[in-house]
Structure 1
Amino acid sequence: MNRPERGVQFAKSVKVIDWLKTEILDQIANLFKGIHYANQHVIIDSLSSLIVSVYVLARRMGFSYREIDRSVVEKLREHARDGHQLEEWYGDLSTLEEYLNKR
């Protein structure tokens, strides 16, 4: 790839990353609206869109999906081990880790 092509690719990558960042913010706003209006469809749609956007953003930044999954599981274990309130009160973190490990 010659120099001008690399410059175009770089600019395109930056633009995509910026677009994904705004997409994440947009989905957070939609999620809050969905929660405010107790709209289950909007809540689920926003949450799933956030997850997709975060994975794609990570990939565009050079991380593999597997790296992200591994890091999430590691983070869940760390929080559970450190007595995170969500784990102590509800067992959410170990339940999520178990789910992720079964996929």
Structure 2
Amino acid sequence: MSRPERGVQFAKSVKIIEWLKTEILDQIAHLFKGIHHANQHVIIDSLSSLIVSTYVLARRIGFSYRELDQAVVQKLREHTLEGHQLEEWYGDLSTLEEYLNKR
């Protein structure tokens, strides 16, 4: 790849990372609006878009999907061991870890 082509690729990479960051913020705003209006379609659409954007952002900045999955499972284990309130009160973290491990 020639030098100008590398420069274009770099600029595109920076641009897409910035776009993904704004997409995540936009989806958070949509999620909050969906919750406020109790709109299940908007809520699930926003949550799924957040997950997709997070995975793509991780990949764009150099992490594999597998690395992100492993980090999520590790974070769930840490929070479970530390007695996180979501785990203590509802068992959400261990349930999510179990789900992820079965996929």
Distance 1:98 1:37 in 2: 32
Q: Deviations over 1:5-34 (max 9, x none)?
A: 110000000000000000000000000000
Structure 1 residue runs of 4 or more that deviate by more than 4 Å after TM superposition: none
Q: Answer yes or no: is 1:70 the counterpart of 2:70.
A: yes
Distance 2:56 2:86 in 1: 27
* 1:10 corresponding residue in structure 2: 10
SS of alignment partner, residue 63 of structure 1:
coil
Unaligned segments of structure 1, at least 5 residues: none
Unaligned segments of structure 2, at least 5 residues: none
Distance 1:21 1:39 in 2: 24
Distance 1:56 1:48 in 2: 12
TM-score, normalising length from structure 2?
A: 0.99
* CA root-mean-square deviation: 0.3
* 1:94 corresponding residue in structure 2: 94
* 2:38 corresponding residue in structure 1: 38
Q: What is the number of residues matched between the two proteins?
A: 103
TM-score, normalising length from structure 1?
A: 0.99
* 1:52 corresponding residue in structure 2: 52
Instruction: Give the letter for the 1:18 counterpart.
Output: E
